[in-house]
């Protein structure tokens, strides 16, 4: 860096760095320099990251500051599609992704953080080494979803992303009360705010399935069409509601087993029976997964409906159901309700 004092006199003189300090946010560096020709000439420079393309950045996890991966529109699209549980058509999802990327790209210079030497050695191929924090991506996504044709998708996304408990260093939304605290917070839907009640004591059931879970052979759709029952398809649909929660794959299988145990002896079942069974069971197993499932199954059309459902979940909770492998495997008792 040429000395500005010498430059004012028409002389070109280089400088040495005598001190470097990184800004608190990690997005700029201040250097103290001294002129090589005249030690009395000292000045400061501020260096900030200049970046051309979002796709070349890495993603830093806010909870533990770790670099997780290179930014990917494909990953963002997959996370969004999973979180909204089919409430948005692909055409609108693609437009939302384009808008989010446009917003992030426009603000990128103020968002990116430099990679440390160790991070650069491990992650960067040598071109440009900078990262964007995952919470910046989440905030941009939530902001855009509030403008979607279906406002409930913003809440579904928040339940899916903020509700994750599988991310190191981040607690995530634990239950319906935690969800309501977020929903009523400034910047969310504080206009809906009301007192969050305490939850009464809940009876507790423990259960572990028998070795063989019976299941029907056919499902009767709303149209009256009979289709072969697919256990894997049924389980996968439950897992979508449980994504990011504790042991989603295992718990989806256990929820399916509990529902099907209550339908044992029925070769043909209504699709409505399966949906209602999952709805009732998730209400007993996981508040956040239940709210995600119920928003779609009950076709909630407004944020207020979801808020009311969460409020009722706190005030009138269902008996708690815990899948405990220490319990003796058994079928569901005759007097046991979903």
Question: Beta strands 204-207 and 320-323: pairing type?
Answer: parallel
The predicted pLDDT at position 297 comes to 95
Residues 112 and 60: beta-carbon distance below 8 Å:
no
User: What are the structure tokens assigned to 244, written together?
Assistant: 């990011």
Distance (Å, whole) CA 94 – CA 137: 16
Laid out side by side, the sheet with 226-228 consists of 226-228, 218-220, 268-270
Which pTM value belongs to this model?
Answer: 0.81
The mean pLDDT values, 10 residues at a time, for the chain of 338 residues are 76 84 72 89 77 83 89 94 91 95 93 85 70 94 90 93 84 94 93 94 92 89 95 96 95 96 94 97 98 96 95 96 86 64
Strand-pairing partners, residue 207, are 323
Written as six digits, the tokens of 277 are 């069974």
Taking the C-alpha atoms of residue 161 and residue 215, their distance in angstroms, rounded to an integer, is 32
pLDDT of residue 333: 57
- DSSP, collapsed to helix, strand or coil, labels residue 113 as strand
Bridge partners of 130?
114
Alpha-carbon distance of 118 to 155, in angstroms, equals 38
The tens digit of pLDDT for each residue in 118-176 reads 888 887 655 567 899 999 999 999 999 998 878 899 999 999 999 999 877 778 899 99
CA atoms within 13 A on the CB side of 220: 7
């Amino acid at each position: 860096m040429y000395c500005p004092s010498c430059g004012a006199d028409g002389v070109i003189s280089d400088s040495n760095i005598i001190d470097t300090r990184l800004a608190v946010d990690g997005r700029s560096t201040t250097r103290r320099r001294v002129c090589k020709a005249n030690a009395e000439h000292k000045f400061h420079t501020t260096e900030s990251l200049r970046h051309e393309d979002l796709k070349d950045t890495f993603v830093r996890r806010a909870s533990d500051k770790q670099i997780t991966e290179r930014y990917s529109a494909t990953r963002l699209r997959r996370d969004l599609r999973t979180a909204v549980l089919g409430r948005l058509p692909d055409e609108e999802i693609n437009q939302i992704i384009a808008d989010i990327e446009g917003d992030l790209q426009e603000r990128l210079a103020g968002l990116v953080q430099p990679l440390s030497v160790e991070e650069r050695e491990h992650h960067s191929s040598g071109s440009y080494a900078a990262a964007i924090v995952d919470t910046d991506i989440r905030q941009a996504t939530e902001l855009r979803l509030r403008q979607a044709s279906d406002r409930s998708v913003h809440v579904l996304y928040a339940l899916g992303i903020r509700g994750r408990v599988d991310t190191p260093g981040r607690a995530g939304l634990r239950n319906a009360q935690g969800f309501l605290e977020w929903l009523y917070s400034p910047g969310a839907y504080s206009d809906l705010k009301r007192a969050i009640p305490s939850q009464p004591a809940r009876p507790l059931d423990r259960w572990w399935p028998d070795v063989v879970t019976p299941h029907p052979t056919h499902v009767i759709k709303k149209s009256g069409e009979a289709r072969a029952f697919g256990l894997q398809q049924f389980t996968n649909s439950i897992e979508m509601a449980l994504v990011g929660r504790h042991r989603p794959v295992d718990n989806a299988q256990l929820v399916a087993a509990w529902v099907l145990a209550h339908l044992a002896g029925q070769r043909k079942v209504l699709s409505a029976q399966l949906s209602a069974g999952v709805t009732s069971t998730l209400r007993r197993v996981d508040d956040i997964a239940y709210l995600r499932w119920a928003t779609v199954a009950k076709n909630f059309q407004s944020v207020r409906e979801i808020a009311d459902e969460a409020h009722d979940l706190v005030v009138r909770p269902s008996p708690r159901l815990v899948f405990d492998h220490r319990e003796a495997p058994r079928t569901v008792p005759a007097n046991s309700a979903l």
